Amino acid sequence: MTYLVKTNQLTKVYDGKEVVSAVNMNVKKGEIYGFLGPNGAGKTTVMKMLTNLTKPTSGDIEIFGEKLSNQSYEILKRMGTIIEYPIFYEKLTAKETLELHCDYMGYYDKKEITHVLNLVKLSNTEDKRVKDFSLGMKQRLGIARAIITKPELLILDEPINGLDPIGIKELRELFKMLCKEYGITIIISSHILGEIEQLADTIGVIKNGRLITEVAMDSISRNQADYIEVIVNDGKKAAFIIESELKIANFKLMDDNSIRIYDSTVSQQSLTRALIEHDVEIEEISKKTSSLEDYFLKLINGGVVHA
């Protein structure tokens, strides 16, 4: 498997405090890597180190198979980035901003400017100064700037901050398109799970500077099975019936009254029938889905990994 970005025991210490500790991150080529964590978890610091803005205290980073050093300037040509919030030379217009960016990056296809402004839905603001832009528009322009040179790796730190729901949806489509059609690998960070969930192929969860887990989305979905929860007057009796009558082993007695059945072959009707036939009173029966949100909240709050 080829990894586009690999970090090895990446650590950053600010004023004696470990902000990022021993992060081993692996980003595959061509995937969208969601970087999830609460505010202040160290997401931005990791991304700053990936773009060589901040230098690691220890550990190292490998991008495009090359170790990052103080002199790694050529690598930056192949990357597009937004860190923290999009920063601009505010007196320039949108068009000038992109022109200047292309000049600095050594990219000379000026026709791209119109195209890319269209992509982020900023087409009629070419000659407007950036300082008159709203936060959402700045985000869009920031993204336009990051993708204009068709980089191989996009590093986007909280790119959807300040956008309205429609804007978020548009950009989600855009990111997916960039990943699929142009084969751009994207590392995207957010503290909003719902966003990452809908985008990412792999999720890295970071908390207090530590990468708690790194999992592929499809493997989480499989693990998070649905279950039927029944609340009865006599849990033990019900459990016995489920086991002996319905021949189901994959269930769990949660407490004296409630049982969770993970076996997906059993229907609610047959369960109800079996229980009633044996004089078990049912107070409630419902089908539940353990959502991704539960999964990640568990991870972030408890810090225990059992994916």
Partner 1 sequence: MLNLMRLEMKKYHLGSYVKNAVIANLVILGLMFMILFISKIEGDPGLENYEVALSVIDSFVRAVFIIFAATLIAKLIIGEYKFKTITLAFMYPISRKKLIAAKLAIVMLFTFSMIIISNAIITTIFCIVSDRFELIPDVLSNSLIIQHIPSVFMNAIAASGIALIPLYFGMRKYSIPTTIISSIFIVAVTSSNTGNFTLNDIIIIPITLAIIGLGIAYLAIRNVEKVDV
Positions in the binding site for partner 1 (CB under 8 A): 48, 51-55, 70-71, 73-77, 79, 81, 83, 87-89, 91-92, 100, 103-106
**Whole-number minimum distance, CB 47 to partner 1, in Å?**
11
CB of 75 to partner 1, least distance (A): 8
**DSSP, res 84:** S
Q: Which is nearer to partner 1, 145 or 207 (CB)?
A: 145
Pick the closer one to partner 1 by CB: 5 or 79.
79
Nearer to partner 1, 108 or 269 (CB): 108
Smallest distance, Å, CB 120 to partner 1? 18
Nearer to partner 1, 13 or 216 (CB): 13
- The one-character DSSP state at 88 is -
- Tokens found for residue 127: 């000659």
Alpha helices in the chain (DSSP H): 43-50, 94-105, 112-119, 135-147, 165-181, 193-199, 217-223, 235-244, 268-277, 292-302
Nearest to 84 by CA among 39, 29, 20, 131: 39
The beta-carbon contacts of 174-178 under 8 Å, at least 24 apart in sequence, are 174/119, 174/120, 174/143, 175/32, 175/199, 176/32, 178/147, 178/154
Cβ at position 7, least distance to partner 1 in Å: 17
Query: Please, what is the minimum distance in Å from the beta carbon of residue 17 to partner 1?
Result: 14
Strand, helix or coil for residue 100: helix
Choice between 105 and 215, CB closer to partner 1? 105
